[in-house]
Copies of this chain bind each other. A is one copy, B any other.
């Protein structure tokens, strides 16, 4: 890690901004072109998001870790990765970058900078989806710590592209992304009232994931003694 906290925080800002441009921008483009076929729009949206994650994590992972996600940063800190003193800077820049990316996507498509979403995403099934989606994402990242460092880029990109389809919430799995998508009344938006339960489910999944990782790893340590 030979970049300053200032630079790494800037990379978290920029990477999260591009992630949100990919999520929101491709949703706008896909809905405009798809002629009402939602499956086709979601296919483009999911492929664009997954591909953007591959590119962003390959490029920026060696600099900041390419978290782009407060849940990832919190789990990393709980696991002894990033220092707790750096966590507030990471999370603040992720949230700022997420809103910056939404604004950039809107400007690129001639829309207002921010406008409140009316896209309802509620109910136990969708909130449960967010718990599962986030747990799975964190498990994929944790598992990839055992392989070469670029693997996480492909694993996360592939996982999110798949999770768009296998969860009823289309897998936000990221508190910063969830908050910022509430400011976009487009294909990828979420009503502000629905954002809070999503974030709670995501943070609960982070705690469950850390507990799971410790349970999985602890007996192995005993045997090594």
Q: A156 to chain B: which residues have CB within 8 Å?
A: 55
Chain B residues contacting A55 (CB-CB under 8 Å) are 140, 154-156, 158-159, 162
Evaluate contact between A4 and B219: CB separation under 8 angstroms: yes
A2 contacts the other chain (Cβ, under 8 Å)?
yes
Is the C-beta of A30 less than 8 angstroms from some C-beta in chain B?
yes
Point out the residue from B34, B129, B155 that lies within 8 Å of A59, measured CB to CB. B155
Q: Does A150 contact B (CB under 8 A)?
A: yes
Docked Cα-Cα span, A156 to B154, in Å, equals 13
Whether, in the assembled complex, A87 has its beta carbon less than 8 Å from a beta carbon of chain B, the answer is no
From A7, A10, A156, A162, residue with most partner B Cβ within 10 Å: A162
Q: From residue 27 to 74 of chain A, which have CB atoms closer than 8 A to chain B?
A: 29-30, 33-35, 37-52, 54-56, 58-63
A220 B7 Cβ-Cβ under 8 A: yes
B44 contacts A220, CB within 8 Å?
Answer: no
Interface string of A131-152 (1 = CB under 8 A from B): 0100010011111101111111
In the complex the two chains form, is B132's CB within 8 Å of A21's CB? yes
Asked if A128 contacts B107 (CB within 8 A), the reply is yes
B7 touches A216 (CB 8 A): yes
Q: How far is the CA of A129 from the CA of B110 in the complex (A)?
A: 11
Which one, B129, B165, B223, contacts A26 given CB within 8 A? B165
Beta-carbon contact of A129 and B155 below 8 Å: no
- Least Cβ–Cβ distance between A86 and chain B, in angstroms: 15
Verify if A168 is at the interface (C-beta below 8 Å from B): yes
In angstroms, Cα B6 to Cα A40, docked, is 42
16 contacts between A and B (CB under 8 A): A2-B224, A3-B216, A3-B219, A21-B166, A24-B166, A26-B166, A29-B168, A33-B42, A35-B37, A37-B40, A44-B46, A48-B166, A58-B147, A60-B139, A61-B147, A109-B168
